[in-house]
Amino acid sequence: MKLKNYIRNVPDFPKPGIQFKDISPLLENPEAFKKCIDEITRIYTKVSLDKIATFDARGFLFGSVVAYKLGLPLVMIRKKGKLPGKVIQESYQGEYAPATIEVGEDSIRKGDKVLLIDDVAAVGACMKAGCKLIERLGGKVSGCFAVIEFSSMNPQKLLGKHQLRSLIKY
C-alpha cells in the first residue's frame, strides 16, 4: 500500500499558487491510517523515548495514537492562547504567516527524551520552534517526524542536528 495514494492535492489552498496536501483521505481509510501509525511506531519502537510531543491540530491525530501504542505520555504543543496554566512560547515564520506556539511549563522535565510528531514538515519552522521549546524546558529532542515532508523545501537544513524522518516525500 502506497500511502502517497491517500494524499489529496488541493490546488490554490489556502491561497493561490499553493498545492495543499490533504491528509483527509488517509485518515478516512482505516487500512491506510493503520499502516501509517504502524510504520511510525515501527521506526521508534527501539528508540529510547520518554514522551511524544505533537502539534496543534493535525499532528494530534498521529502523535496521540503513536503515544498510545508506545505507552508514552503525550505533550500537546498548541497555538498561542489555547493551553491553560503557565506556558512558554516560541514564535516563528510559518509558510503562510508568522505564528506562535506554546507548551506547558511542567510538561517536559530536565532530561526527558522527546519525539516530535507533526503531519507535515515544509520549511521546518514549526518543528524547529517545537525543538526550541523542548530544549528550553531541559528536554532532549530524540527525533522529529512528519507524515509528509517537502524535501524540495529542505526542512532538515533548518532543523540542523535534529533528525527529521517521514513516510511521504514531495
Is 31 catalytic? The answer is: no
Question: Which of the residues 28, 39, 42, 58 is marked catalytic?
Answer: 58
Strand partners, 87: 104
Question: Which of the residues 8, 90, 95, 109 is marked catalytic?
Answer: 95
Is 95 catalytic? The answer is: yes
Provide the grid cell at 146.
Answer: 512528519
Phi, psi of 49 (to 5 degrees): -130, 150
Distance from C-alpha of 101 to C-alpha of 27, rounded to nearest angstrom? 25
Active-site positions read 58, 95
